[in-house]
Structure 1
Amino acid sequence: MCGIAGVFDLKGRREVSRELLERMAYVQRHRGPDETGSHFEPGLALAHRRLSVIDLETGQQPLFNEDGSVVVVFNGEIYNFRALIAELQAAGHVFHSRSDTEVIVHGWEEWGEDCVSHFRGMFAFALWDRGKQTFFLARDRLGVKPLFYARLEDDTVIFGSELKALLAHPGFRREIDPECVEDYFALGYVPEPRTIFKGAKKLSPGHTLCLRRGQSAPEPVQYWDVHFTLDNPISFEDACGELITRLREAVRLRMVADVPLGAFLSGGVDSGAVVAAMAHLSPDPVNTCSIGFDDPTFNESAYAARVAQRYRTRHYSGLVACDDFSLIDELAWLYDEPYADSSAIPTYRVSQLARRHVTVALSGDGGDESLAGYRRHRLHRNEERMRALLPLGLRQPLFGLLGRIYPKADWAPQSLRAKTTFEALARDSVDAYLHSVSVMRAEQRRQLFSNSFRTGLAGYTAAEVFHRHAAQAGTDDPLALIQYLDLKTYLVGDINTKVDRAAMAHSLEVRAPLMDQELVQWFASLPSHFKLRGAEGKFLFKRSLEPYLSRETLYRPKMGFAVPLARWFRGPLQDRVRQALLGERLADTGWFNPRYLRHMVDDHQSGIKDYSASIWSVLMFEAFLRNLEGGKIERLAEEAPMQGEVLPC
């Protein structure tokens, strides 16, 4: 796991400043504390910060082919690298290391742009082929590893593992994109391929970008997508057996490392399944790490301990105070963009704990998206059945009226909280799903933004993100459609972003077996009733795991990695909330309605209504602005050692 950065001159062969490249790499030094490397030639500069995981002695980067004409910097892991080495050696390629990185340069020589189709893993890399004068960027299929890039006004392309690398370049313009502000307050993150800045993009998962010197820059090309065929004829009983076989294979591939390895263990189904598979495959006790909270309402550590005891793991647990809100400013620095998933706090803490004992940790991320594990999946399916009974032309006025007049009863039993359901029934399927997952829904965003900001959006709404993906889903199955949307939006923009930044802040590599491309596609071939049956999500997964995990682990209600925001904002953070939401920084943007901000703060702190999720999203946006203005990037970049100096970890 590493940090990469670089500069490519599209027009010619202008020299790249060594000092500039070292600054772009240095601001990401947390991603690679072990070694640093760089490569320069006219019109090109590549930098690499290494976290050594495989081939500790000879896996340094940048890494070259036999004659030095092809060079790569790479972040991630190619899990099938041993099989690829054998295949490429049989084709005549000569390897000089045992590193998975080297299969990229030889794969490029053998297969060209299609090399990515041969790689099974998580990756983001930049490759230069001098003979073809070609610069190639690639990102893995499910967006586990990040890759940012920008084309500057002088026709140079800059890239990095984090936006920090781009922000360290003096030619990068920090102009915020208003449409991405709308996206952020709807979703809690800025979805691919855009970033909060107009001039920068994320390379979308499953895409490559091939640039040739002297030619106009093309658009990225998609090389992979998940296809929800739902046509696998396998029986349910056979699918249970095959699932375990496929899970173990995905886990086995991710257990290759030359450094200490372990797993996150939350006490839930997904992490328990991964640990069970690891225990089956390992002759030694598995290292497991979990975080508990001092408030039992948010504490799953006892369930994690039971799984650890069953599999006799070497278990490490930590306790976090429920008033652990000291990370707000640190999170703004880590994520570079506004990011509003508060579970980043415990994720940061469990990564911090894990890094004391291991360098690589396996996680259970990705299971809910592929196997319909979220409560919203069940609710959406039920709503779809009701939507099918009435055409949209009748549903919109009827349920739209009910949604407007029905009170939002957060305090009431679940069966009486009908307002959201009425609002969803008044929409089409895609808009309804966006409505259900939004941090701040459309009407609330309308009140949040100033009149001038809404005018500037010119009718744009975050719904366009979902409709764009829905048009490519290739399925009309209600459950499969929203699973596809989750894989394209929430999994990448929220889950993978959260884990990558929180873990890499501690130089910890996280691998997710349930995001194995072949496993994900196999899940997508199964009929929807295997995944969601009655009120039970992940039905096939849980049935398959009954011999390996207790019924309590498998069937207890999902808890999640929550933090007590509502209490924080009425207690220890109430002054911070007032200063941030009602202060000059947000007011000076001209983007927000100060009366609505005050309404949210007053109603929440008086206990009239729970606005905690909305307040957190605004609080983190204000922290993003403060971080951007604070000059930390500039100060850190100035600390970058010059050539020949010792690079600190």
Structure 2
Amino acid sequence: MCGIAGIVDLQQQRRICPHALTRMARSLVHRGPDEEGFFIRPAFGLAARRLSIVGIADGQQPVFNESRSVVAVFNGELFDYPELRELLRQRGHALRSHSDSELLVHLWEDFGEDMFPHLRGQFAFALLDIPRHRLILGRDRVGICPLHWSRQGDWLVFASEIKALFASELVPRAPDPKGLDNVFTFFCMPGRRTAFQGINAVPPGHYLRIDFGTVEHSPTVQEKTYWDFSFPDRGQEESPSDPAGLTSAFDEAFGQAVRRRLRADVPVASYLSGGVDPSLVVAKCRQLNDAGLSTFTARVSDRRLDESALASGTASALGCANQTVYCDQQTLVDIYPQVIAAADCPVVDPNAGSLHALSRAVHDAGYKVVLSGEGADEAPDSGRGLASLSAGCMVH
């Protein structure tokens, strides 16, 4: 992950304080410990903290188009960046780096706001079109990468994390009771609302189009949808009469998804529990790549909930080097303040503490990228055919 931040005067009349932008960037060092970069002009400023994964040597941010009229900062990864690079080269663009983040500015040149269907991955970005006096804040389809913003008069401040907004000293710190109610009602922060007044999240599958004020026009902030879940109408569902065909189609799509996520200029590891979803991910990794794979498993003290023995058996069967991280009750209590600081809101799910401990172990082992089966139970665990697929992955 990386961290991005920025400050904009919507009326384009006041200068950005470089110290405020620096404070915002420094509050995100944990997201991007490798490099930092800034773009500052009188009425706007962008900042990036980079965790270098793709294009390590030449992927510095911010990134620019050929004429430097479009500039962007980016968090995440575009999984099909090799194909996008070739497409843009064929369209006549000169690419200066090997990073995926540079592709954004050229896609904007060619497609404008229709660029989003070309973005396949997890991302949050800010793109500034200087001649058009326009800023785009975009977030991936399911909200893997965070992006928050706040409007204070004619100041617009945005960042990957809320703590960076506070670091600007332009955003007041005040709790939002309705946002806190969401946490304790839904166990998460759904939608745009956050735990703080005046601070919003860009929703998944959406982007903000911010047009700066001019002599003729007032500034505008518009939220737009570029993607949403689409479910078939009754009678239009995939037919279950061919389970072998459905399993084969899933295997192909699943393999392509895992293959794309293994694209990195650094080693990749994986979380592993005793569940179907992470086991499938690790099995597919081993099927696609003969190189060794390191896996990380949480061990809890309650034997009824502990899956570490199952995970260890899976790792052994697949030839993975598995590291077990002990997460007893006291460990979760001790780590809880760090979980709150990372989430920028109360966290009700104790599993978040285990994930935080696992992430720390991954970092201590020298890895920057780790795969996860989070949120995947509904797909792999929904049929016997997919259970046999998992076994097939392990055998082959």
Q: TM-score range by the shorter chain?
A: over 0.9
- Which amino acid is 2:386 matched to? F
- Which amino acid is 1:129 matched to? D
Measure the CA separation in 1 of the matches of 2:309 and 2:119: 39
- Which amino acid is 2:188 matched to? Y
> Which structure has the highest strand share of the two?
2
TM-score normalised by L of structure 2: 0.93
The alpha carbon displacement at 1:304 in A equals 0.6
CA displacement, residues 294-344 of structure 1 (integer Å, 9 cap, x when unaligned)? 442332111111111111012222223333211222222222112211111
- Which amino acid is 2:307 matched to? E
Greater relative contact order (CA < 8 Å, ≥ 6 in sequence): 1
* 1:174–1:199 CA contact under 8 A, matched in 2: no
The residue that corresponds to 1:267 in the other structure is: 274
CA 178–322 in structure 1, closer or farther in 2 if over 3 Å, else same: closer
Measure the CA separation in 1 of the matches of 2:357 and 2:177: 32
* 2:38–2:47 CA contact under 8 A, matched in 1: yes
- Which amino acid is 1:12 matched to? Q
1:161-560, aligned counterparts within 5 Å?
161-214=160-213, 215-229=218-232, 231-233=237-239, 235-324=242-331, 325-357=333-365, 358-368=367-377, 370-371=378-379, 531=382, 538-548=383-393
- Which amino acid is 1:16 matched to? I
* 2:62–2:71 CA contact under 8 A, matched in 1: yes
The alpha carbon displacement at 1:136 in A equals 0.6
Measure the CA separation in 1 of the matches of 2:391 and 2:380: 18
Which 5+ residue runs of structure 2 have no aligned equivalent? none
* 1:13–1:44 CA contact under 8 A, matched in 2: no
1:150-165, aligned counterparts within 5 Å?
150-153=150-153, 155-165=154-164
The alpha carbon displacement at 1:240 in A equals 0.7
* 2:283–2:390 CA contact under 8 A, matched in 1: no
Measure the CA separation in 2 of the matches of 1:296 and 1:323: 16
CA displacement, residues 94-147 of structure 1 (integer Å, 9 cap, x when unaligned)? 101111011101000010011121011000000001111110110000101000
The alpha carbon displacement at 1:184 in A equals 1.9
CA 261–23 in structure 1, closer or farther in 2 if over 3 Å, else same: same
- Which amino acid is 1:172 matched to? V
Instruction: State the superposition RMSD in angstroms.
Output: 1.7
Measure the CA separation in 1 of the matches of 2:136 and 2:267: 32
Measure the CA separation in 2 of the matches of 1:218 and 1:41: 20
- Which amino acid is 2:43 matched to? G
- Which amino acid is 1:131 matched to? P
Measure the CA separation in 1 of the matches of 2:191 and 2:14: 31
The residue that corresponds to 1:25 in the other structure is: 25
Measure the CA separation in 1 of the matches of 2:179 and 2:326: 36
Measure the CA separation in 1 of the matches of 2:328 and 2:391: 33
Measure the CA separation in 2 of the matches of 1:284 and 1:340: 38
* 2:380–2:386 CA contact under 8 A, matched in 1: no
CA 318–185 in structure 1, closer or farther in 2 if over 3 Å, else same: closer
Measure the CA separation in 2 of the matches of 1:191 and 1:99: 32
- Which amino acid is 1:94 matched to? A
Measure the CA separation in 2 of the matches of 1:294 and 1:243: 36
Q: 2:106 aligned with 1:99, yes or no?
A: no
* 1:134–1:211 CA contact under 8 A, matched in 2: yes
CA displacement, residues 213-268 of structure 1 (integer Å, 9 cap, x when unaligned)? 11432331010012111622462210111111111100000001111211101121
CA displacement, residues 360-382 of structure 1 (integer Å, 9 cap, x when unaligned)? 001001213x4396xxxxxxxxx
- Which amino acid is 1:17 matched to? C
Give the 3-state SS of the residue equivalent to 1:29 in structure 2.
Answer: coil
Measure the CA separation in 2 of the matches of 1:339 and 1:267: 24
The residue that corresponds to 1:147 in the other structure is: 147
Measure the CA separation in 2 of the matches of 1:350 and 1:359: 13
The residue that corresponds to 1:466 in the other structure is: none
- Which amino acid is 2:123 matched to? F
* 1:39–1:45 CA contact under 8 A, matched in 2: yes
Measure the CA separation in 2 of the matches of 1:340 and 1:52: 32
* 2:11–2:219 CA contact under 8 A, matched in 1: no
* 1:77–1:122 CA contact under 8 A, matched in 2: yes
Q: Which moved more, 1:35-44 or 1:297-306?
A: 297-306
The residue that corresponds to 1:87 in the other structure is: 87
The alpha carbon displacement at 1:543 in A equals 4.2
Measure the CA separation in 1 of the matches of 2:287 and 2:384: 22
Give the 3-state SS of the residue equivalent to 1:276 in structure 2.
Answer: helix
* 1:272–1:549 CA contact under 8 A, matched in 2: no
- Which amino acid is 1:231 matched to? E
Measure the CA separation in 2 of the matches of 1:350 and 1:548: 25
* 1:32–1:49 CA contact under 8 A, matched in 2: yes
- Which amino acid is 2:341 matched to? W
Measure the CA separation in 2 of the matches of 1:356 and 1:306: 24
* 1:243–1:544 CA contact under 8 A, matched in 2: no
- Which amino acid is 1:224 matched to? W
* 2:58–2:97 CA contact under 8 A, matched in 1: yes
Measure the CA separation in 2 of the matches of 1:262 and 1:56: 18
The residue that corresponds to 1:576 in the other structure is: none
The alpha carbon displacement at 1:285 in A equals 1.3
1:596-611, aligned counterparts within 5 Å?
none
> Which structure has the highest helix share of the two?
1
CA 59–236 in structure 1, closer or farther in 2 if over 3 Å, else same: same
* 1:139–1:206 CA contact under 8 A, matched in 2: yes
Give the 3-state SS of the residue equivalent to 2:249 in structure 1.
Answer: helix
* 2:15–2:43 CA contact under 8 A, matched in 1: yes
Give the 3-state SS of the residue equivalent to 2:393 in structure 1.
Answer: coil
Paired residue total: 385
Give the 3-state SS of the residue equivalent to 2:329 in structure 1.
Answer: coil
CA displacement, residues 386-428 of structure 1 (integer Å, 9 cap, x when unaligned)? xxxxxxxxxxxxxxxxxxxxxxxxxxxxxxxxxxxxxxxxxxx
**Percent identity among equivalent residues?**
35
* 1:141–1:206 CA contact under 8 A, matched in 2: yes
- Poorly superposed stretches of 4+, deviation over 6 Å: none
- Which amino acid is 1:360 matched to? V
* 1:64–1:102 CA contact under 8 A, matched in 2: yes
The alpha carbon displacement at 1:549 in A equals 5.4
Measure the CA separation in 2 of the matches of 1:43 and 1:339: 37
Measure the CA separation in 2 of the matches of 1:361 and 1:162: 21
Measure the CA separation in 2 of the matches of 1:184 and 1:313: 37
CA 3–112 in structure 1, closer or farther in 2 if over 3 Å, else same: same
The residue that corresponds to 2:15 in the other structure is: 15
Measure the CA separation in 2 of the matches of 1:249 and 1:75: 22
The residue that corresponds to 1:63 in the other structure is: 63
